[in-house]
Amino acid sequence: MRSAAKTIRVETLARVEGEGALFIKLAGERVADVKLRIYEPPRFFEAFLRGRHFSEAPDITARICGICPIAYQMSAVHAMERALGVAIDPAVRLLRRLFYCGEWIESHALHVYMLHLPDFLGCQDVVELARDHKEVVERALRLKKIGNRIVTLMGGREIHPISAAVGGFYKVPSKPQLVELVEDLEWALEASVDTVRLTSTLEYPDFEQDYEFVALRHAGEYPFNEGRLVSNRGLDIDAAEYEDHFVESHVKHSNALHSAIRGRGSYLVGPLARFNLNFDKLPLIAQQAAQAAGLHPPIKNPFRSIGVRAVELVFACAEALRVVREYEPPAVPRVPVTDRPGVGQAITEAPRGILYHRYALDEKGMILSAKIVPPTSQNQKRIEDDLREYAAQLTTWPVEEATWKCEQAIRNYDPCISCATHFLKLKIER
Amino acid sequence: MSSEKCKPRIAVFKFASCDGCQLSLLDAEDELLGVAGAVEIAYFPEASRRMLKGPYDIGLVEGSVTTHHDAERIQEVRRQCKVLVSIGACATAGGIQALRNWKDVDEFIRVVYATPQFISTLKLSTPIAEHVPVDFELRGCPINKGHLLELITAALAGRKPNIPTYSVCIECKRKANVCVAVAGGVPCLGPVTQAGCGALCPSFDRGCYGCYGPMESANTAALTNQFRVLGAPDDGIARSFRNFNAWSWQFRKASEECERK
């Protein structure tokens, strides 16, 4: 007979981006301690951004994360445009949505199929998954590739694309170039609906939490680059007010700062939050796919995030098709931007949740200070809270199975540890 | 992943980095299952929770060394790998995080972290080759996934990988791009930067910013003078060399010479 778990320990978390470890201590039926330890070394972006020109921020901050570089580029350009009082062309706005669609498709396809699905089907990785489910993996790879194709068309390459600029893009695609995407996108839309259906056949642990969901909300669309920051507990603020409502603390076991809502504690960002707060803004095809799979907001079971991510795949494909059809190139790829002092904040929706940037600039447009709060550092506290509750259900389980389930509970958040470590906070706490 | 004994075993290790270079392997959507059929992916935590012990035939190392712990870990990684390849600008040149190398890292820690004593980090961010012998360095921020596949193929065949060492200018000419520097007066690092990206930035009407690091025999002094002719200030020229390959000796020398002016 196998013994029940006393401690659950994972020295190297797999199928997440970056380096983390997990430690859970059980005392009988009780969870005595939970530590999600982030040992990824710090890289100090906020410190070395000082003294760089505003125009360099999109290319430099992209290097925080190879999985979601566009999110960093988008939050950077929007924050800079606010600091510098720049208004962009509506066609550029559309193109930025398409750019984000590409990143969401690539990132969500990667996570749903290659990082998360293996847990549900008892596989170690996607290669093992391909042995019994080859057609599923082939669909995953083609979907992912279509996301990457959008990014490459618009930015030259999949990782750290080079076209994003403050004021617009260095170069914009022609209408015929975008129209060439239509056939792929129509296939991807169908494949995404199939993905939602696939997730409805999986088994989910019986586990719900009473979360505070935080996401952008925009009057007319499912959020990417713009909107008020809202929650299901009454938060409704502009990006400029972010630091009045959120606070970060530095804990010893982590090189990533923990973020909390002032006076309330942990909160959740990412697909579940967006879906629950913006279901009415999803296109009909995404709403129908969700409902057919039994996904009705609010979803409070974090394991079901895989289905919600799949619904967002449907959204991203449908939105990309809309942009391709409506697009007419702007008069100029980017509007001229002049150096001047200012402070600008922006929040955009990275695949994993809200990404906050703030910059202060001097009269030559040089960065005086920078603050970046990535989604994973915001979810980190919430992940530990989930583990504390969830591990209590596993106290009688054999240690190996309990460990795997806890890893899966972490992967519910698609954590990007590389991001979380590289951005912490700028202000010195006194 | 498969456990057939005859297959060469590949391992992927991460140091301080953004994860983008190892993601390139997963981004090879058309080739991924083929690669997984030809080799045993024995250790690749970003993709698999099955982590097999060494030794390995090929080790791919992403990221730079920035902590005492990592300085020790790279020694063990080297012992475990028959062939060791550093991939990407962090592993080959220290990465963007090497900008600390010119600054006071303790001040950096205080700027970012509320409790500096929790943080353990080295004063310098350094490339893998400064710590252990490396069999090949694959450049780029990020690497070109075609290069990565060529490198794995070459290692399996026991030959030298066919990776260009000439400048971005050659790629630009092959694409018949109009020169952004000559025709547009835009400062461009193409003449001193190693090829590999396909001259992306000039193809998008902007100057190269040096993702692939210095080419063989880069003439940075001549380029610096040309930037001055175009009207760029010395601090701006220094910054253009201080990006993802800032700590490579050629770009380091070029930026420090501009600072001395």
Q: What is the pLDDT of residues A207-266, one digit of tens each?
A: 999 999 999 999 999 999 999 999 999 999 999 999 999 988 777 777 667 788 998 889
Show residues of chain A in contact with B14, CB under 8 Å: 18-19
Instruction: Show the low-confidence residues of chain B (pLDDT under 50).
Output: 1-3
B204 touches chain A (CB under 8 A): yes
ipTM metric: 0.95
pLDDT at A4 (0 to 100): 64
In this structure, is residue A213 part of a structural domain? Answer: yes
pLDDT reported for residue A35: 86
Instruction: Point out the residue among A137, A159, A251 whose CB comes nearest to the CB of B20.
Output: A159
Residue B203 is nearest to which of A156, A404, A428, comparing CB atoms?
A156
Percent of chain A scoring above 70 in pLDDT: 95
Q: What confidence score (pLDDT) does residue A418 get?
A: 66
Instruction: Report if residue A223 sits inside a domain.
Output: yes
- State whether residue A63 sits within 8 Å of chain B by CB: yes
**Residue A291, in any domain of the structure:** yes
The sign of the torsion formed by the CA atoms of A131, A133, A139, A145 equals negative
B109 close contact with A: CB closer than 8 A: yes
Integer Cα distance of B80 and A250 in angstroms: 35
A307 belongs to a structural domain = yes
Cα A412 from Cα A418, distance rounded (Å)? 17
Mean pLDDT across chain A: 92
Listed by start position, the domains of chain B span 9-157, 168-260
Kindly report the three-state secondary structure assignment for every residue of A311-378: HHHHHHHHHHHHHHHHCCCCCCCECCCCCCCEEEEEEEEECCEEEEEEEEECCCCEEEEEEEECHHHH
Q: What percent of chain A has pLDDT over 90?
A: 78
> If DSSP codes are grouped into helix, strand and coil, which group holds residue B71?
helix
Question: What is the pLDDT, as a whole number, of residue A1?
Answer: 40
Is A35 a domain residue? no
pLDDT beyond 70 at A429: no
Q: Which of A160, A195, A230, A167 lies closest to A316 in space, CA to CA?
A: A195
B48 chain-A contacts, CB cut-off 8 A:
14-15, 124-125, 127
- Domain of A341? 45-379
Residue A422: its pLDDT value, please?
Answer: 41
- Quick check: A301 and A208 in contact, CB under 8 A? yes
Note the pLDDT of residue A428.
24
Q: Which helix (H) or strand (E) holds A164?
A: strand A164-165
Q: What is the CB neighbour count within 10 angstroms for residue A398?
A: 13
The per-residue pLDDT for range A254-298, each reduced to its tens digit, is 766 778 899 888 999 999 999 999 999 999 999 999 999 999 999
CATH of domain B9-157: 3.40.50.700
pLDDT at residue A102 is higher than 50: yes
pLDDT value at residue A36: 84
**Residue A331 — very low, low, confident or very high, per pLDDT cuts 50/70/90?**
very high
**Interface membership of A65 toward B (CB under 8 Å):** yes
pLDDT of residue A3: 56
For residues B111 and A55, give the distance between their C-alpha atoms in angstroms, rounded to a whole number: 22
A384 within a domain of the structure (yes/no): no
Has residue A419 got a pLDDT over 80? no
Q: What is the number of domains present in chain A?
A: 1
Q: Cβ separation of A15 and B244 shorter than 8 Å?
A: no
How close does chain A come to B135, measured CA to CA in Å?
25
pLDDT for the residue numbered A417: 74
Residue A415's pLDDT band (boundaries 50, 70, 90)? confident
Which chain B residues are Cβ-neighbours of A418 within 8 angstroms? 17-19
Chain B partners within 8 Å of A18 (Cβ): 14, 19
Does residue A88 have a pLDDT over 50? yes
B-chain residues near A48 (CB < 8 A): 96-97, 99-100, 103, 108
Calpha distance B146→B43 (Å, rounded): 21
Residue A428 has its nearest CB partner, among B18, B70, B114, at B114
> Considering the domain boundaries, does residue A259 fall inside one?
yes
Cβ contact (<8 Å) for B23 and A66? yes
Is the CB of B200 inside 8 Å of chain A's CB atoms?
Answer: yes
Report how many Cβ contacts below 8 Å link chain A to chain B.
200
Task: Judge whether B126 is closer than 8 Å to chain A, CB to CB.
Answer: no
Look up the CATH number of the domain holding residue A221.
1.10.645.10
Residues 384-423 of A with CB under 8 A from B: 404, 407, 416, 418, 422
Query: Does residue A68 sit at the B interface (CB-CB below 8 Å)?
Result: no
